[in-house]
Amino acid sequence: MIRKLFSVCLLLVSSSWSFAQPEVIADFGGRDTEFPKRKHIKQQLLDRKSLAENIVPATAPDHFPIRSELTVGIVEQTKHSYQVTKPMFIIGVDSLSIEWLIANKAHLKAIGAQGIVTNVSSQENMDFLRARAPGLTLSAVPIDDIASIYGIHHYPVLIDKEDIKQ
């Protein structure tokens, strides 16, 4: 039994890993390590942040015409159970939508709502709407799939964290 124990101890002592040098991550005795310094990493992160601030987000060109099955009409306020990370509103290029957009512009900006424009035929119509809502993001995209999920048939409409309302 003592022979086996002695053999195991001898094997452990003589293995190559027992002679490996420890890798120093931090040493307050003045020994330099190969790991990057915190100050250097912090500066790299700050440089990345300043570069990111100068990047203009890419925007996809609007493709026209955008048509949907939604129509202009009255929307009854209802609750929904979907998770909405950012409020959105749906409008068209019609007098009711334009009046609604102008009347609710301040509230839409305050809640950071994203605008989706449907039933729009040209870039000129989009520019017309954007001129009436500076500071709001308006995108012309197909909306029928989203509308069917929320059970929406008419616009203008606002979808926030809890409600679907006009």
151 and 103 assigned to the same domain: yes
- Contacts of residue 100, Cβ cutoff 8 Å, sequence gap at least 6: 91, 156, 166
Which of the four pLDDT bands, split at 50, 70 and 90, describes residue 98?
very high
Give residue-wise pLDDT tens across range 27-39: 666 666 555 566 6
The residue assigned the tokens 């959105």 is 88
> Do 69 and 142 form a contact (C-beta atoms < 8 A)?
no
- Average pLDDT for residues 71-75, to the nearest whole number? 95
Give the bridge partners for 157, in sequence order.
Answer: 90
**Does residue 58 sit within a domain?**
no
89 and 157 assigned to the same domain: yes
Which of the four pLDDT bands, split at 50, 70 and 90, describes residue 64?
confident
**Does residue 65 sit within a domain?**
no
d(CA 165, CA 125): 24
> Do 41 and 49 form a contact (C-beta atoms < 8 A)?
no
CA atoms within 13 A on the CB side of 36: 8
CA 3 to the chain's CA centroid = 67
- Average pLDDT for residues 137-144, to the nearest whole number? 92
E strands of 1-149, at which residues?
71-72, 78-79, 88-91, 114-117, 137-140
Residue of 141 and 89 predicted with greater confidence: 89
- Average pLDDT for residues 93-119, to the nearest whole number? 96
Q: Whole-number mean pLDDT of the chain?
A: 81
Range of the domain at 160: 71-165
What own/partner pairs with CB < 8 Å and gap ≥ 24 does 101-104 have? Answer: 101/129, 101/132, 101/133, 101/156, 102/132, 102/133, 104/158
21 and 103 assigned to the same domain: no
**Does residue 29 sit within a domain?**
yes
43 and 77 assigned to the same domain: no
Which of the four pLDDT bands, split at 50, 70 and 90, describes residue 49?
low
pLDDT at 63: 80
**Does residue 62 sit within a domain?**
no
Which of the four pLDDT bands, split at 50, 70 and 90, describes residue 58?
very low
